[in-house]
Every structure is written in structure tokens, then in C-alpha cells.
Amino acid sequence: MKKIILSLIISVLPCVANAYIDKTNAVVRILNKDAGKVTERTIAVGQGIKFEKLNIDVRTCKQSDPFDAEDYFAFVEIFDGKNQVFGGWMTKNDPGKNPLQHPDYDVWLVKCE
């Protein structure tokens, strides 16, 4: 009986997934390297903004499970004119892992609200 219960518990454990909370806005920080200025912008999920030469679109923004260490994840697409210069996930806790690295700008995720 103990073996059956233990095997049931072990088979169920891998199915437990982290919960994420969908947020409606992403806050990004943008560095204009030429001017040496840092700007923070709030972008609604599903919409975008124009910042100087960049168009920044946020597809989704999520907060990690409240019982885990706080982290935020956003799927962002960034265009310089008609050319996509970034498309992928950004994370708050590891901003150097996947930021936009552009000759004129750096963009990274601050939080989701």
C-alpha cells in the first residue's frame, strides 16, 4: 500500500506547474546611448509605443508565482523602422540575459503591473 501511494505521489509531482499572473502593463527602461539618458515607459499589453527610432510592442507580461521569488517576464518585439531588432522574452531578474542590444539603444524590463 505504501509503495502504491508513493508511486502515485511521484507520478503527480512532475505535473505541478508554476503559476504565473497575467499583468496588463509592462514597464521598460530605455537607454539612449548617444544622449546618455535613461527613460522609463509603461506599455499596455497588446499595444506598443514609439520611442525615438524604436517601435516597442509588448505581447504579454507575467509575474511569477507569488510563492516564488518575485520575477517578471514579458514577450517583447522591437522594431527599428521596418526591421525587427529584437523579438523574445525579457526577464526582470536577469536583465543581461536577453535585453535589446542596439547600437543606439538598450531596452530592458523593469516590471509588470
Does 4 map to a domain? no
Q: Can you give the three-state secondary structure of 27-90, one letter per residue?
A: EEEEEECCCCEEEEEEEECCCEEEECCEEEEEEEEEECCCCCCCCEEEEEEEEECCEEEEEEEE
Find the Cα–Cα–Cα–Cα dihedral 19, 23, 107, 31, rounded to 10°: -130
22 in helix, strand or coil? Answer: strand
Does 13 map to a domain? no
Does 91 map to a domain? yes
pLDDT of residue 45: 97
Number of domains in the chain: 1
Does 40 map to a domain? yes
Does 2 map to a domain? no
This prediction has a pTM of: 0.77
Residue-number span of the structural domain to which 58 is assigned: 18-112
pLDDT of residue 1: 55
Q: One digit per residue, pLDDT tens: the chain, 113 residues?
A: 555 544 444 444 444 456 888 999 999 999 999 999 999 999 999 999 999 999 999 999 999 877 777 889 999 999 998 899 999 999 887 766 667 778 999 999 999 99
Does 11 map to a domain? no
Does 83 map to a domain? yes
Does 12 map to a domain? no
